[in-house]
Amino acid sequence: MGPDAATALAADAYVYGSPLVRRLSGVQACLQEGFGPLAPAPFNDFAHAEGPATPGAQVPFAPADLVDALAQLDLSGGPVRLHVPDTGGAYYVLQFVDAWSNAFAYLGPRGTGTGEGDWMIVPPGWAGTVPDVVSGVIDAPTSVVSVFGRIACDGPGDLARVRALQQELTLTHLGDRAHRTGLPATESGVPGELRFFEELRVWMADFPPAPADRAYQDRFQPLGLLEEGLSPYVSPRPGLVRALTRGLALGRLRVEEAARRPGAAAGGTPGAWHAEPHLRDYNLDHSGVGALGSPEWRIPDREASYLVRAVAARRGHWLPHGYEALYAHTSRDSRGRSLDGAHRYVLRLAQPPPVRAFWSVTAYDIPGGHLVAHGEDRHAVGDRTRGLVHGADGSLTLHLSAQRPRDAEGAANWVPVPLGRFRPVMRLHLPDQAVLDGSFVIPPLERMDA
């Protein structure tokens, strides 16, 4: 294989394999360091946030009306039992993500209801007996799985209820063998510029992809990615080093360019809100409990799905499918000007966003994506906010400004924003079809001062 062909193949390997490396690097970090406000936790145990995101949160664009829970499951020793408490009709979701970054199952009101239940999460190829007392079985595509949970929280007064639910959300290892305490180790002595390929080599072997991906993965044999035993990257040939480092840069560039392309917007008009309901549609092989495997939620071209998957992994491990939640955002007003907290804005909703759970709007600073302290515990404003004032026709006008409006209606419908540049995010949980097909359009923000 010539140097140019080897470089192109290495770039393909980066696009194909970066979701696996990012996902498992994230698992490792969660085990050892935690994730944002979530403390580190061992395999098969939950880490819980103390409450919704606050201005001190270190996770960009974290929601201010949901409380996070996170568990890394290792099924190498056998199944794990998950107990889910009765939430009394309140919204929650548990999203299951495999080692390749595929969201393959969901528990929550959309698919399984809000009642109490016990679920068995079983490893690939498991053929044991399912106890009669469990609500169902979740077949994991890989032996390491992440469970990302979010519980709706209506403010400080609702925290006691949420914390009681956290105590009841439990995991129990049922296997007859001890599970791992960490991920498979990579070879020491691999130079830093080849570290990505070493991690990909080891983790591809331990966490095989879907059978339909294996022929594509076999193409990477000339790069040493399929070799077992001693790593080919400890003392690599100079030509291989050049091809891998150049391919790594080319693959990263390909993903970065794809990530910069704008998401779906309402006709490209000034101030249009952008959303990507189909960013998770690369999961083509494993549609488990609560996941939809119908054609509209699957990318038809398998090879094209690898780039979409790489972009989604770069943007965040926990993005759900659009049918579970959709996050729309904008950074410009109705005349195309950048949003800035030095000005006042209104969002005029002729009708409430059509959702089956709830919606809210939260403003974040730019470029950090953080909430900003403003002296009041008011960060997410939406259909669960008490005291909102609607028009006689059912319309709703939200007021976005750094200072509380002086008039009563404006104060009741106030969405606080940072001074300086900001980005509002509208979260729509369990969106109706009108949201997903674009027939419901979020209006641009209108600037109210000169």
Q: What is the pLDDT of residue 262?
A: 65
400 CB-contact burial (10 Å; exposed 0-12 / middle 13-18 / buried 19+): buried
* Residue found under tokens 């305490």: 181
Q: What is the pLDDT of residue 59?
A: 83
Mean pLDDT split into 10-residue runs, the chain, 450 residues: 89 98 96 92 96 86 95 96 96 97 97 95 92 91 97 93 96 88 92 95 96 96 93 94 97 94 66 94 96 96 97 87 96 96 97 96 94 86 95 96 94 96 98 95 91
| Planar angle of CA 307, 312, 318, nearest 5 degrees | 155
Q: Left, alpha or beta for 61 (phi > 0: left; psi -120 to 50: alpha)?
A: left
Bridge partners of residue 71, in order along the sequence? 46, 147
Q: What is the CA radius of gyration of the chain?
A: 23
Tokens of 7: 């470089």
Return the closest-CA partner of residue 30 out of 84, 67, 68, 56.
68
Helix/strand/coil for 24: helix
Length of the chain: 450
Return the closest-CA partner of residue 144 out of 121, 166, 118.
121
Q: What is the pLDDT of residue 263?
A: 59
Q: What is the pLDDT of residue 264?
A: 56
Q: What is the pLDDT of residue 37?
A: 86
Model pLDDT for residues 379-416, shown as the tens digit of each residue: 999 999 999 999 999 999 999 999 999 999 999 999 99
For each of the domains in the chain, give its residue range(s) and CATH number, in order of start: 3-20+183-260 (1.10.3360), 43-173 (2.60.40.1610), 264-447 (2.60.120.600)
Start-to-end CA distance of the chain, whole Å, equals 63
Q: What is the pLDDT of residue 298?
A: 96
Q: Give alpha helix (H) positions in 334-448.
A: 408-412, 433-436
**Please, are residues 449 and 400 in contact by the beta-carbon 8 Å criterion?**
no
How far, in Å, CA of 290 to CA of 293, rounded? 10
443 CB-contact burial (10 Å; exposed 0-12 / middle 13-18 / buried 19+): middle
DSSP 32-60: HT-BTTBPP--TT-EEE-SSS--TT--ST
DSSP letter at 421? B
pTM: 0.94
Helix/strand/coil for 263: coil
Helix/strand/coil for 187: coil
Evaluate the omega torsion of the peptide bond into residue 367 and state whether it is cis, within 30 degrees of 0: yes
| Planar angle of CA 32, 34, 40, nearest 5 degrees | 65
